[in-house]
Chain A
C-alpha cells in the first residue's frame, strides 16, 4: 500500500503514438525546394524534424508551436530555411476532432501528456473545454502572495478510510483512482494497462461489472472490484482478494438504467466470465432489486464487510436532486467512500436520451453534498469521490475545491490510449482504435507496456499540474483545498474588480 512518505512515483518515459502520424493542430510541410541543408533539424528545439536521406522528415507536427513559436510571426524553421521550403499551416482535420466537452485541444493536450509525462507547452488549452458551463466557466483564483510554497513541497496524497473503524487506512499518493470499465466494454489489454498504471501510481483501478479476469489477479492489491446490479462475475473469492469493493448503484452517464453490452461485444470469453450466452446483448437490471430501503442498503454493505474484513466499501451513486440525502444514507449504511457520478461521464453504450440533460452535473452535486455533510457533522468521517466529466487536472483541482476529496477517472485514461471520442464504442466489432473492443484483431492494435506507460505519463503530468496549482494557492497538501470554494469564481457571475488575484 502506498505509504505517503515512502512512495516514489514512476518515471515518465516517452511513449509516442501507435499510429504513423500524430494528430496535431498544425501541419508542417517541407517542399520540393529543400536541399537537405539540415538547418531546420538543427534549429527546431522541439523535435519536429528528423534528418533524412533526401530531405528532413517531419516527425512531430504535434510538437510544433505554430505561430506562437519564438521569433513571433516568423517561425524559426521557416525564416531559417534558406530556400523557403517549409510551410506551417492549420491541420484541416484538427477541427473535426472531439466535441464540446472534449475539444480537439483538450484531446491533443492529453495525448501530449500521455506521450511525454509533461504539461503541454504548445499553447494547447489543456485546462478547459467548450461546454459553456460548469468546469468550463469556473476559474481558480490565485492569491498575489502564496507564502512561497514550492511545488516540490506539496503533498497530493489523500486517505480513503476516514471512518476510524479499524480497517486499513489506505492512502493514495494522488487524489485519483481509475473507475470501473468492465471486461467486455474494453479490451483485456486496455484493462491491464489501466490496472498496471494504477499499481505504478500507487492507486486503484476498478474492474467494472464484467468480472475479474485471471490476468488481473497479480495486481489484486490495486484493484477495486465492482458489485453492480447484474452481479456479473461477482464471486466471494473476487471480493476476498481486493482491498476495496464498490457498489455500483447507478452510473451518472445513464442514471436509472443498468449496464448495456451489445451482443457483438459478447464474445465467448466475455460470456464465460459473465456466465452468459455469447452473442446476446447483456443488460444489467436497474436498480438492485434487493434494495428498497436504506436498511437493505446497509445489509449489502454489511455483507461485503463480512466476506472481506479488510475491505473498504465504496458506494457509487448518480446525482438526483436529493443526492445529499443519498450520501447521508450511504454514510450511515457504513460506506467508507461515496462516489458521486455526475451526468457527463462516460459509458460503453447508452441511449442518447439517457445521456443528455439527465441527472445533476457533478459540479453542482459535490458542493451540495459537501455542505450537507458538514452541517450533519460527518464530513470528516467519509471520503467523497467525484466522477463523471472530470477531464483535466484543472477540473480535478476545481472539484476538490468544490468539496470532493478525490476523483475517479475513466475517459481520461482512454484518451491517453488515443481514444478520440468518435462515440462508436458500441458498434460492430467495437472500437476501431482497439481500446473498447473484444475483437482479437483490434485488441492487438495495442500492447500492454505502451498502454501502461501512456496512462502513467498522463497522471504524472496531472500531478505536476495539481502540485503547481496548490503551490500557487499557498497550500502544502491537497487536503487543504477540499471545500475551498473561495478560491473559485464563475465567469458568469463575477464582476470586474471583484477579484483579488490571478484567474486561471
Chain B
C-alpha cells in the first residue's frame, strides 16, 4: 500500500479580525457598580480576555463571546444587550452566506473540522446542494473507522483515460506499451481558475504553493505563465488558453494540461500527445444544456478527461441555468447509459463551497472536483468583489504572503479532507473512487417531496 496521505496542519492566525455574527452592546449609563458585576461571572471570561485589535482598533470581545446570554439576563439594570452585526448580514451573498464564509475561515485558521453541539439549526432544505441528503450506514452494513485513523480510507483519484480491461499483445503476450497515462492525485480536488481575484501574481503563487504541499494541481492560464511560477511547475495544471499550443519547453515536466473545448479540441489533444506521450490532456468545457451529449461524443472520440465548469454559484451559463449537481447527474447517467462512463475522467467545478459539496458532487457523478472561491476565502476574502471594480481589497489579498496563504489553504483542504473521510467512513466506503456516482446512497428533494404532494387525500 502506498504511504498514507496525511495533511499536517498548524494554526495560522488571521491577519484581519473576521466578520462576526453579533456584538455585545453594554451601556455604561445607569450602571449600578455592583460589587460582583455579571461581566466578571462570564463562563468564557470574554470580558477578561478582551483586548483591542491593534490593526483595526476593533474590540475582540465579540469574536470570543459565545452567545450564552447570561450577562444579558443577569445585569440588574439590564444594560447589556446583544445585537446583529450589520456587516455580518451584508457579507457574501445568497450562496456564499456569512455562515459558509465563517465556516471556511475557521477551517483555514485552525485546520480543524467544525464541530458543534445541539442539532442542525439551518433550513430544512434549499436550492443547489441543499436539495439532497446523503445516506449513512445503517444497522447491518459494515462501516469504516477512518477519521480516528484505525482504518485507512483512500481519497486517491486517477485523472485520465481508463481502459476497460487489459488486453495483451498478440503473439508475445506482452502488456501493451500504449496504456494511456494517468495522473494520480491523493485527494479528489484540484484548484481552479478564480472567477475574480485582486490583481497581481501573489494569490496564484500562494495557491500553487498550497497545491505543491498538498500534492495536487492548480490550474494556471498559459497566458499568465511566468518564471515566478516555475518552482511549482510539477503542480501546475496549465490551461492552454492561447491560440497556438505552447512550446515544448513549457510543457516539459507537466503532468496534465487543459485545452478549451471546441471543434478542434480533439486534434489539438492529438497534437499535444504526439509530442508528449506522457501528458494527460483535459478538455475544459462550460457546463450547459448539451453537456451530456458532448461528454459522450468526446468520450467516444478518445478524450481523456473533461472538466465541466459552472459559475461560482454552481449555475451554468445558459438561458435556463441548471445547478451543477443536477447537470453532473445528467452527464454521469448519460455516459452510464452509453456504457462508456468508466473510460473517462469527469471533473466538476462551480459552486463547491463546503466539504459537503465536494462529497455531493462526487456522489452525483464527478470523479474529482475543482475548487475556486474557497481558496480566496481561506485567505480571508469576504466576497465583497471590490476587486472586480478595481477597488482595493479590504484584506489586502493582492500582496498576500505565499507561505501564509499556502498554509491557510492547506488548513482548509485538510479540514475538507477529514470531512470527506467522515462521510466515507459513515457510508462504509473505503475509497473515494467508490463514492463516484453512488446516487443510490443519496436522497433527492424532488423525490422525497412526492410524499408531501400527496397529503390531504384520503386513503
Contact = CB atoms under 8 A, between A and B. Distances in A.
A493 B84 contact: no
Interface in B290-344: none
A410 B440 CA distance: 31
A424 interface: yes
Given A346-B118, A424-B116, 8 more contacts: A131-B123, A286-B426, A322-B138, A326-B138, A347-B118, A353-B113, A358-B136, A388-B119
Contacts of B443: 321, 360, 364
Contact of B114 (A351, A422, A488): A351
Nearest to B22: A96
Contacts of A52: none
Nearest to B448: A364
Interface size class for chain B? Answer: 35 or more
A203 interface: no
Contacts of A363: 452
Contact of B120 (A101, A255, A296): A101
Interface of B: 22, 25, 43-44, 66-70, 72-76, 78, 81-84, 103, 113-126, 129-130, 132-143, 145, 148, 354-356, 360, 419, 422-423, 425-428, 440-443, 448-449, 451-459
A292 B428 CA distance: 12
B356 A353 contact: yes
A408 interface: no
Nearest to A432: B68
A425 interface: yes
6 contacts: A102-B121, A250-B137, A344-B120, A351-B114, A359-B134, A493-B452
A343 B442 CA distance: 13
A92 B25 contact: yes
B125 A352 contact: no
A348 B356 contact: no
A273 interface: no
Contacts of A238: none
A357 interface: yes
B422 A432 contact: no
A136 interface: yes
A432 B125 contact: no
B84 A429 contact: no
Given A360-B448, A489-B456, A320 B113 contact: no
B81 A93 contact: yes
A475 interface: no
B452 A352 contact: no
B442 to A, nearest CB: 8
A100 B122 contact: yes
Interface string A326-362: 1001100000000000011111111111111111110
Contact of B453 (A286, A294, A350, A493): A493
Contacts of A344: 119-120, 124
Contacts of A131: 122-124
Contacts of A330: 139
A361 to B, nearest CB: 7
B120 A343 contact: yes
The 3 closest A-B pairs by CB, nearest first: A256-B426, A425-B117, A133-B124
Nearest to A353: B419
